[in-house]
Amino acid sequence: MVEKEGVIPVVTARLFSWRLRSSQDEKKGSSSRGTVKKGEVGREEGSGEPAEELREVKRRSPSTHEGEGRETRVAAEQGTQTPAVPSDSLSLGIKEPVYEVVEVRSDGVMSTKKINRRQLLKSSGLRLRDIRSVDPSLWLTNSMPSLLVREQAILLNLGSLRIIAMKERVLLFDYNGGKAFLKIFLPRLNPKNINGAPSMPFEIEVVEAALLSRIQRLEQKLVDLEPRVVALLEVLPNRLTADVLEQLRISKQTLVELGSRAGALKQMLLDLLEDHHAIRRICVMGRNCIIRRGDMECALPSERQVAEEEEEEIEMLLENYLQRCESCHGQAERLLDSAREMEDSIAVNLSSRRLEVSRVELLLQVGTFCVAIGALIAGIFGMNLKSYLEEHVCAFWLTTAGIIVGGVVAFFLMYYYLKARRIL
């Protein structure tokens, strides 16, 4: 079978070459084609060259086939040794994003490193769609606060603070936005600050420090803004200047932003408190426990008891921060309502002033109309036409007095008419 498989390709090639030569000769004419065919048959019968070539092919074909098989095996071995190219870099030309993160471990060691998306997904056990909530490149579309609980990590997005909390470490995506978080979180990792009290799990400490840093920031802004708004509200009714109005506008804008942030954080905490499944998933993280049909099942009864206690502590913790957030949001809304009421009073005051100005303008227009009538009469008498009044000495004084009296009478008539129509 080896010889036959090696002979068949060579014989086929030889026959194909003979057919090509015969097809070229057929183009010269039908008569020459027959001659060529007879010559070829004679050569096949007399010379015996094709038979010798076939025998040589039979002798060489086993070695050739073995060489081809050897080359095929070598190529296959080289192909197995060649490293596989990742599917992400196959002629797509897309550069995988690299994140610069701050890593804080449970022992308090902090380091800054760069990690790509593939390594991040592999180390945290997350999916690609989970990373979108904390991806700093999508901060415009993912500005709303969110807390996602997964099997091995908790993803927390609080605006400029975006973190991934795991069992023994936390990844902080923006160092500038997380300075307040690190200032609160790092002292909690020091064993001297525990004072013998039982410590919370690492990921719960991360969530609490993040919420505390964000709410303290909102409260500090509110404390700094409240005295300034109160002072403006006391000054504004009696002092309407451009500087005071600009300060009121800036304060109102800050209150709107503060209230929206506090409201979004409050809504996130409310949704989390209503989702008992998410809280239980936080409690069973890192333990030999599972949640089946809403119930917590653990390998050891002690782990179940500890998880249930942690669930109550987490609910109390979230309720505490929810109350603080509601207080901050309510105070911001009250100050904002006061600022809006002041704006309404300012608008009414300005409207009354504009009405007074409009009345004065209308009176001036009426007076101008009356004077214009007098000027018209004076212009008529000023023409170089003989009216025979210029011959009388008292005609000038009578005309002047008539114009003045007529203008005054016309003014008062227009004034009382506008009063009767309630225009003035």
205-239 confidence digits (pLDDT tens): 899 999 999 999 999 999 999 999 999 888 887 78
Percent of all residues in the chain with a pLDDT value above 90, rounded to a whole number = 23
Confidence at residue 66, expressed as pLDDT on a 0 to 100 scale: 45
What integer is the mean pLDDT of 125-136?
Answer: 84
Is 368 among the domain residues?
Answer: yes
Is 207 among the domain residues?
Answer: no
Which one of 180, 199, 218 terminates a domain?
A: 199
Residues 119 and 40 in one domain: no
Query: How far is the C-alpha of 287 from the C-alpha of 309, rounded, in Å?
Result: 14
CB-count exposure of residue 80 (10 Å: 0-12, 13-18, 19+) = exposed
Is 307 among the domain residues?
Answer: no
Owning domain of residue 61: 2-81
Top pLDDT among 293 and 346 is at 346
CATH number, residue 121: 2.40.128.330
Q: What confidence tens digit (pLDDT) does each residue in 27-40 have?
A: 444 444 444 334 44
Is 317 among the domain residues?
Answer: no
pLDDT at 182 over 70: yes
* CB 374, CB 411: distance < 8 Å: no
Is 369 among the domain residues?
Answer: yes
Is 59 among the domain residues?
Answer: yes
Dihedral sign from CA coordinates of 108, 114, 117, 122: negative
Confidence at residue 72, expressed as pLDDT on a 0 to 100 scale: 40
Average pLDDT, the chain: 76
pLDDT at 394 over 50: yes
Q: What confidence tens digit (pLDDT) does each residue in 253-300 have?
A: 999 999 999 999 999 999 999 888 888 888 777 666 667 666 666 767
Which of 32-36, 356-360, 408-412 shows the lowest per-residue confidence on average (mean pLDDT)?
A: 32-36
Is 10 among the domain residues?
Answer: yes
Q: What domain count does the chain have? A: 3
Residues 7 and 102 in one domain: no
Residues 74 and 100 in one domain: no
Which one of 154, 180, 199 terminates a domain?
A: 199
Confidence at residue 343, expressed as pLDDT on a 0 to 100 scale: 87
pLDDT at 129 over 90: no
Is 239 among the domain residues?
Answer: no
- What HEC string does the chain produce? CHHHHHHHHHHHHHHHHHHHHHHHHHCCCHHHHHHHHHHHHHHHHHCCHHHHHHHHHHHHHHHHHHHHHHHHHHHHHHHHHCCCCCHHHCCCCCCCCEEEEEEEECCCCEEEEEEEHHHHHHHHCCCHHHHCCCCHHHCCCCCCCEEEECCCCEEEEECCEEEEECCCEEEECCCHHHHHHHHHHHHHCCHHHCCCCCCCCHHHHHHHHHHHHHHHHHHHHHHHHHHHHHHHHHHHHHCCCHHHHHHHHHHHHHHHHHHHHHHHHHHHHHHHHHCHHHHHHHHCCCCCEEEECCEEEECCHHHHHHHHHHHHHHHHHHHHHHHHHHHHHHHHHHHHHHHHHHHHHHHHHHHHHHHHHHHHHHHHHHHHHHHHHHHHHHHHHCCCCCCCCCCCCCHHHHHHHHHHHHHHHHHHHHHHHHHHCCCC
Which of 285-294, 318-327, 401-410 shows the lowest per-residue confidence on average (mean pLDDT)?
A: 285-294
Residues 100 and 76 in one domain: no
Residues 193 and 116 in one domain: yes
Which one of 155, 179, 199 terminates a domain?
A: 199
What integer is the mean pLDDT of 351-370?
Answer: 91
Confidence at residue 199, expressed as pLDDT on a 0 to 100 scale: 66
Residues 69 and 112 in one domain: no
H-helix or E-strand containing 1?
none
Confidence at residue 220, expressed as pLDDT on a 0 to 100 scale: 93
What integer is the mean pLDDT of 188-201?
Answer: 64
Which of 139-153, 290-304, 315-329 shows the lowest per-residue confidence on average (mean pLDDT)?
A: 290-304
Residues 106 and 44 in one domain: no
Residues 101 and 191 in one domain: yes
Residues 153 and 176 in one domain: yes
Confidence at residue 255, expressed as pLDDT on a 0 to 100 scale: 93
Confidence at residue 299, expressed as pLDDT on a 0 to 100 scale: 66
Q: What confidence tens digit (pLDDT) does each residue in 70-95 have?
A: 444 434 444 434 333 344 443 445 67
Top pLDDT among 63 and 231 is at 231
Residues 53 and 100 in one domain: no
Residues 11 and 70 in one domain: yes
Confidence at residue 362, expressed as pLDDT on a 0 to 100 scale: 92
Residues 128 and 35 in one domain: no
